[in-house]
Amino acid sequence: MNEHRTDRTIALVTGANKGIGRATAEQLAASGMTVLIGARDPGRGEEAAAAVRAAGGEAHAVALDVTDADTIRATARWTQERFGRLDVLVNNAGITGSGQVSPADARDQVPSTVDLDMVRAVFETNVFGVITVTNALLPLLRRSPAPRIVNVSSHAASLTMTSDPDGPLAGLLPSAAYSPSKTAVSALTVQYANELRKDGILVNAVAPGFCATDSNNHTGFLTPAQGAAVVVRLATLGADGPTGGFFGAEGPVPW
């Protein structure tokens, strides 16, 4: 018997050293979970984990880049050795595309003029990263009595909302990178939910809302903690909870 195994719920949050991911980790830890804080930068991850511990929670930093399969495999191995299972996976890590290639290339995402390297970079993190991380951790999630997967998305993923010229998102610039990447996450969420439903693994997508984070230069009107609340709600669903859904704080988000 591994001496490190615990009855506490074990949650892994990717991109958890700042923003919505960090707020999610803080709230999950406050609820009594052991939280694994995934971060590309080990120093920033450890700083976030130390802050959670200082607040009375249990947290461990793991070096995790969702575009680097080696770090993903290492995280899965460490989690297996330390805890023997994973109960909650929050796929939060994501990029908007702004500044990811170069400021000139990433200035806009208008389809007719978009830089394809930037589009590829966004999909590599936001879509392929979700697949790679999820598949690496699935064997550990299958060992949980109540496994949950939450994919952090955006209202900009909604084809219904973004196609409405008079709707609340009418002011958004057309996007060939970020918005389509999050729409792809919605599609993946449904497909994973369909595959894993028989195993009792609940898989849902969430739209935290327009939160003030680095990705929008802190122009959002919600705090990361406010945005994280719906993520935490979906991460702690009971056995009769939904799967294959898309939710915001206001309730179901239209596809």
Residues marked as catalytic = 178, 182
Distance between CA atoms of residues 43 and 40, nearest Å:
9
Distance between CA atoms of residues 86 and 47, nearest Å:
23
Taking alpha carbons only, the member of 242, 255, 252, 206 closest to residue 226 is: 206
Q: Which residues pair with 152 in a beta bridge?
A: 206
Taking alpha carbons only, the member of 201, 75, 91, 184 closest to residue 136 is: 75
Instruction: Fill in the amino acid letter for 99.
Output: G
Q: To 10 degrees, what angle do helices 224-235 and 19-30 make?
A: 50
Taking alpha carbons only, the member of 67, 65, 97, 89 closest to residue 180 is: 97
Question: How far from the centroid of its chain's Cα atoms is residue 120's Cα?
Answer: 19
Taking alpha carbons only, the member of 153, 230, 231, 244 closest to residue 202 is: 244
At 110 the three-state DSSP class reads coil
Instruction: Fill in the amino acid letter for 219.
Output: T
Taking alpha carbons only, the member of 124, 163, 154, 164 closest to residue 215 is: 154
Rounded alpha-carbon distances, angstroms, from residue 5 to 8, 71, 217: 9, 22, 40
Please name the residues in contact with 70: beta carbons below 8 A apart, sequence gap of 6 or more.
none
